[in-house]
Structure 1
Amino acid sequence: MLMKRMIYTTKFISVLVFVALMLAACNKDEWKDDVDALKQPMPTGIVIMDAVSVTAVKGTSFQLRFRVNPSGVAVTEGNLELDLQNSDTYLLVPPTRSAFSAQSRASYVTPSDCYKITGVEPDRNGSGEILDGQWIVTIKTQGEGNFRNVSDLYLVMNYTDAAGVAHKVSSPVLPVQIVPTADEGVEFRYSLVQTLRTAHGELNPYILYTDVNTYRNASGGEWVYDISFITKAESQGEAMTLDWLTLHEKQYVSLIPKEGHELWTSLEEGKEKKVSTASQVAITDFGGTQKIIDLPITYCPRTVIIRRDMPIAELNANRDDIDYVIDLSAEAAEYGLTADMASHLTRRPTSIDFHGVFIDNFGIDEINTVGEDNTFVLQASPFIPDELTAGFITADADAAIANYILHSFPQYGDPLDKNTFQFLLDMEIRILINGVE
């Protein structure tokens, strides 16, 4: 019995000696590192402050203020990640195949090609003092193409505990969306010519429509660009002033001619058939991106006089041809009434009220203003009951008169409500045909 007790005592002493030798092998620095590691606080949660959702223009950055609990945890770009879930992309055209990288759901963190962390810094109060436990992360939006993206964003922090085991802690969800730039979301629509004066004799504002684009996701859901994203409009040009109070409610801006400006004098006095200028118009969205146009502006008088000398031989040769017309499009173009004058409009109703006159065996009984692909033409159909035997002159008082109107209305305006119309061209076209030998 005594012998066994001596053996156990010897083994216990040997263990103590071994432990002492092992402890002696550890230096003071290693002990300190282990103790410091145990003292480091482990993050238990992330709380996003202030923001409940984020809408950002593509290509711009936004910041999130967040708190890490408990305080004292160091946050860097290296240990903070973005987790984007339920990502849904809307494209300008019906999607056939996504232009963006497929997002894997296999891992806990799903990085998105549309969002990227570009900076992490401590939050500070108004005096510049660091707020313990509060941080600011800067996130840049990005992506190629004209699109909108909606996602659920989580901030995820990576850390390793004292035992060397990696962990992640996540914030609650934050809905985020990327919207197109002003240049991508808005389309400018306008006429290439307008009458300088209205039917009431007032200066006619030059209208620039701001149509918005529609986007569609893979499941067929649609989203329309919100015109309220545009926060400012401005223009450059001496002869016009910009009125953009109608932008949000009616989706157009107006460039108003300055009364008495020298640019309009020659037109008002009948010395010119048209006057042209340009005005740069810029609209800016809440992200600071712009859409800019050098808007071509052409004004013509409200009364347009078209004169044409026609050989009697040609008129007699086509007297019985019901398809024969006198094409006056070239003369109309001198006033800015060109074939493509409405080509930049998507809504372009026209109306014409014609009053023909018959003098000395010659008259015009019909006017056509609609050409191929809805282009503008000016064609007069003559009426010649008997062969012309001598030349003739049509006096100004005997002119055939066509009252021509080109109007448009905002994108979501009522096409039957005249109160929503803008009369771009409201004119009297006077046609005088002379017969020459």
Structure 2
Amino acid sequence: MTGRALTDRLRAGVRALVRPTDPLPPLSRRSWVFDVLLALALGLVAIQAGGVDVQDERQPPSAVEIEPYRMVRPPPLPPPPDPVWPPFLPIEDDRTGGTVALLLLVVTPLVLRRRYPLGVLWVGLALAVLVSDNPAALRLSFFACVIAGYSAAVFSPYKVPALASVPVAAILHAELQSDASSVSDSAVPFLILIPIAVAAFGLRRWKHRADEGRARMSAMEHEQIEALRRATELERARIARELHDVLTHNVSVMVIQAGAARKIMESSPGQAREALLAVEASGRSAMTELRHVMGLLTMDSDGVDPAGAADLAPQPGLDGLATLVQRLRDTGVPVELTVTGQRGPLPSGIELTVYRLVQEALTNTVKHAAGAAVEVTVEFGGDHVRVEVTDTGGRPDESAAHGTGRGLIGLRERLAVYGGTLQAGPRLSGGYRVHARIPLEAS
């Protein structure tokens, strides 16, 4: 590894260490008020405690009567009690004003301990060095650094520098503190700052993991709800297309045949009978396909209902085109079906799409071009399937309402699944043309 690469890695490591791990927590008005009161209370307690001088409670030795001209040595004094580490030191009389100002200066940065936690700790350490000549201010700076160290470990977004600053603060105060203590002066900062840092670090990690867990759970719930909504919308659209394709064609044929039978019932009873038979056949076909769609809707987790399993039929495909065209011929509509090319194995979805395309085109012809001749062409190419349905034009049927275009929209959606395209519009020579091309490679 070259020196430049090593330098780059070191720089990247340093940047990673000082990069914020997470943003600062939101600061509420209550938090600001609490920090101000905390700094003010700590300063006032130090000022109040420092105003009381520590008196020596040891009693002077009692007078001893001695005989004249005889030297008597007084009894030895008892050993002084072990010194007790005072939380606050007294303020000297000749430095009262300056010491009070230093005490307030030491606690003032604590007001910003949540907004700038690491900066407050560093400022507290600098102030500790600045007031090291004043015992009362130095002792108060120790407590201020304890609070600042805890705040840096918990709230600072700069995780590594904050945790590294806590032992530095402990070492610095171990060198600065020189007053009597119940334990070793050098051990006091470690006994207080290091446990606080460890506890704060553990609390920080637990809180961070809890926040991450809640965020993951919320994201998963949102994704599940969104996926369920999309699946519901897609299923509704699919069901609507199936019902449209199943019912529109057969019902249109039934209406036209029933109207024709009504008109020729008296003059040509035989032809009227054939028209009514075609109505019956269309109705049976519609019921079969409708029962298939409803069977899909009523499926439960254990499978299809055994009672309705016998009524389910497979989805129509290319083999059903001849039957579809013949059923329309029986109604008196001249339809020609032409299939060219070599048909290979196709996915059932493409076969169903081609069938629904021809079915929808023939339905539109019956509804909007009564009396027209229709040509259906299905061409199998090497890499595509081409479907074309043309008619010669005619008059709209009396029962045909104004089209909404929903059928063509459904066909375009079906073709888009397999990368196919649809063109539909009037012909220059008259009539209407529906042309679709489905690539086989995309399937």
TM-score, reference length from structure 1: 0.22
Higher relative contact order (CA 8 A, sep 6+): 1
Q: Choose between structure 1 and 2: higher strand proportion.
A: 1
TM-score between the two structures when normalised by the length of structure 2: 0.21
Larger Rg: 2
